[in-house]
Chains A and B, each alone.
Chain A
Amino acid sequence: MRTNDVMLQTATKVVTFIILMFAVHIFFAGHYTPGGGFVGGLLTASAIVLLMLSFDIETVNKILPFNYVTMTAIGLLLAIATAAASIIFDVPFFTHAYDYFDLPLFGETSLHSAMLFDAGVYLVVVGVTMTIIQTIGEDE
């Protein structure tokens, strides 16, 4: 049965970008304000879920051609690599480092290596959530 949900699809095309921008904001603001990799990953997954609700699974897989299992593996690898990189500098496992840099657009910014670990958490959360939802949603 073909149904015409043009209002839902048009609203989704606007709202998805707002949710994705909010997810990126919450991911980067996690060091000083509430938020972080977990909430940002869940928000990104919910934006993709909203796309899947208003379109269909095959279209979303065509416009976002990610293999979510590989994404989970890359996230775990990133977290382990951030933790293991401290061994190279002769400090204990999981020691983080930070410094202040002069970036061209942002001015003086403090970059912390915990952000890379958080990026790993983000990728794992998005990958696991989307794997669960795709596996449940795809059976006929």
Chain B
Amino acid sequence: MMMFYWISLIVVSIGFTGLLFRLVKGPTIADRVVALDAIGISLVSIVALLSLITETEYFLEIILLLSILSFIGTIAFAKFLERGEIFDRNNNR
């Protein structure tokens, strides 16, 4: 079973490298933002696999924390790309 976790970790790392390629090469900013979002998801799965390999359950809170931070970061990037500012002062005028 441990062999299976290691193989999964290697496969996720290969996917991570592909996302890093898209992050560096990506022609537009939107490509880079999507790559960063997917890198966050890959980090979540890497942390989950590492917590399986090291047989500890103290990493499980990091998974939720990473997904929340990745979500908020992607929303901030998307809003900056769309409107040019992140925080509106007042939406209704």
Interface residues of A in 53-105 (CB under 8 A from B): 53-59
**Inside 8 A of A17's CB, which chain B residues have their CB?**
none
Q: Is A128 an interface residue (CB 8 A)?
A: no
Interface of A is mostly: helix
**Inside 8 A of B83's CB, which chain A residues have their CB?**
1, 3
Distance in angstroms between the alpha carbons of A26 and B82 in the assembled complex: 34
Distance in angstroms between the alpha carbons of A57 and B58 in the assembled complex: 36
On whether the beta carbons of B87 and A57 are closer than 8 Å, the reply is yes
On whether the beta carbons of A53 and B79 are closer than 8 Å, the reply is yes
Given contacts A22-B64, A53-B76, are A3 and B87 in contact (CB under 8 A)?
no
Interface residues of B in 77-93 (CB under 8 A from A): 79, 82-83, 86-91
Q: Is A114 an interface residue (CB 8 A)?
A: no
Given contacts A34-B58, A56-B90, A137-B87, are A39 and B71 in contact (CB under 8 A)?
no
Residues of A that sit less than 8 Å from B by CB = 1-3, 8, 15, 19, 22, 26, 33-35, 39, 43, 46, 49-50, 52-59, 133, 137-138, 140
Residues of B that sit less than 8 Å from A by CB = 58, 61-62, 64-65, 68-69, 71-72, 75-76, 79, 82-83, 86-91
6 sample A-B contacts, Cβ–Cβ < 8 Å, listed by A number = A1-B83, A53-B72, A53-B86, A56-B91, A138-B87, A140-B89
